[in-house]
A and B are shown apart, each in its own frame.
Chain A
Amino acid sequence: MTRLFSHFQSSVGSKVLLALSGLGLVSYVIFHMLGNLQVFEGPHALNRYAALLREMPILLWTARVGLLGIVVLHIVLALQLSLRNHRARPIGYAVRRYRRASVASRTMAASGAVLLLFIIFHLLHLTAGIIDPSASDRLDVEGHRDVYGKIVHAFQNPLIVALYVVGQLGLGLHVNHAVSSSLQTLGLEHAALNRLFKAAGPSVALLVILGNVAIIVAVFVGIVR
């Protein structure tokens, strides 16, 4: 057990945990986006879906606690590694030219920090309703919580729209490098599949951004109301 523990304490071992926790978060982000896209099916579908999630409190709270655990693990490991990396080059170069390292790959800590701020804001805003109490819970005609109405109310505000779009850009930048990188960290590499692995990050990032921003824009321009 101590062997296994020290295995994951090395720089390479902690990257494996970082990759696994990150991929867990990526799957959640995709699932979350697909669920939200039901906005386009109207208030009935979305509110029913939201109610369905709330009807299973055990599942809901397991998922919430699990997600929180994964996020905390991810952030602690990311901080540890960033600290190690920072110490590894105390004095930088006067002139620096990158040839291959993408902007996304070099700004993982920054995009991660933007993401963290956005997640906190998002939870306070739509989950807890603290940031904008004017959209407090109402019930729809079927007696479900009116999540649909909450979303429509939120994204009519240009400031909220701007903050969400910035959050999505941070998410896109992070995931763009993260997915392909985690495949390499897990040692997945094959001559026939490498192009697929390389495309995985940008594709997932694009998918998630398009899906989420579509909702925001649709409400803002009044397609969804």
Chain B
Amino acid sequence: MRFTLNIWRQNGPNENGRFISYEAYDVSPRMSFLEMLDGVNQGLVANGEEPVAFEHDCREGICGSCSLVIDGIPHGPDRGITTCQLYMRRFPDGAIITIEPWRAAAFPIVKDLVVDRSALDRVMQAGGYVSVNTGGAVDGNALLIGKDQAETAMDAASCIGCGACVAACKNASAMLFVAAKVSHLALLPQGKPERTGRVTAMIEAMDREGFGSCGNQYECEAVCPKRISVRFIATLNREYRRAGIVESALPNASESPHAESV
């Protein structure tokens, strides 16, 4: 197979970028999208040109590194998969494919198709943790958790932090990501001690990083490689309201040791 690729090229964070057209020859339908790009890059290197920078690591759909907007859809035309699991047989031979980076103010472009997603890490640092006692390890299953509850928590926990939800959202909102993290921990007994402070801190961090607000358009759910459900966004909204009620009754506490300096 052969394809024409329109790829966004940008030398650095503050440079101007533009689309450059490349031809991909001798592509096997069994190649993944990233393998196809590897082929293009080999050709570029052989010609002494700069290869196209794109992010990847596991190439098996679990790490959340790969991040391409393919023909206007984050992670491409198939549902419930990451870019690395998209295969070229999905495209008609000779197709023209446009490849762009995640676009959001909170995700500055590092180079070409690589964006800096550490904003999501900072949101996690603000509250996406649980406290664990030191000392001997607790016996497995010492804490009993209902099957349904464990399953629902696992559904939320399967978020791999890729940021496709932000990329797809018209408002570049990170609500689905934050909803998944908050719901996951709020559902489990291990997450209870920080339950109230967590949701407030993570939403404050989300706003601070410059993500947009949620318009309940649900484009996030449609592109999420782990098919995280938007009902966790409703859970997040409930958690936030609960925190508002609980916290408004609390005396003003000193700064949390984990709070970031603004």
Contact residues of A with B, CB < 8 Å?
A: 1, 3-4, 7-8, 10-16, 81, 84-85, 87-102, 105-106, 108, 177, 180-181, 184-189, 194
Contact between chains at B105 and A87 (CB < 8 Å): yes
B153-207 contacts to A, CB under 8 A, are 170-173, 175, 200, 203-204, 206-207
Q: Are A81's CB and B218's CB within 8 A? A: no
Measured between beta carbons, the chain A residues less than 8 angstroms from B223 are 99
How many whole Å from A70's CB to the nearest CB in chain B? 20
B212 with A187: CB separation less than 8 A: no
Q: Which residues of chain B are near A98, meaning CB under 8 Å?
A: 219
B210 close to A (CB within 8 Å): yes
Write the nearest CB–CB distance from B119 to chain A, whole angstroms.
11
Task: Give chain B residues whose Cβ lies under 8 Å from the Cβ of A180.
Answer: 216
Q: How many chain B residues touch the partner (CB < 8 A)? A: 52
Q: Contacts A11-B207, A88-B105, A89-B172 given: A4-B237 contact, CB under 8 Å?
A: no
User: What is the count of residue pairs linking A and B with beta-carbon distances less than 8 angstroms?
Assistant: 139
- Residue from the list B72, B170, B213 in contact with A106, Cβ < 8 A: B170
Q: Is B94 an interface residue (CB 8 A)?
A: no
Residues from chain B with a CB closer than 8 A to the CB of A16 are 237, 241
**4 closest Cβ pairs, A-B complex:** A88-B212, A189-B234, A187-B238, A101-B217
Closest B residue to A104 by beta carbon equals B217
Q: A85-B172, A89-B103 are in contact. Are A3 and B213 (CB under 8 A)?
A: no
The listed residue (B8, B172, B222, B238) touching A100 by CB distance below 8 A is B222
Q: Please measure, in the bound complex, the distance between the C-alpha atom of A87 and the C-alpha atom of B170, giving whole angstroms.
A: 11
A12 touches B170 (CB 8 A): no
Bits for B87-127, please: 1 = Cβ < 8 Å to A, else 0.
Answer: 00000000000101001111000000000000000000000
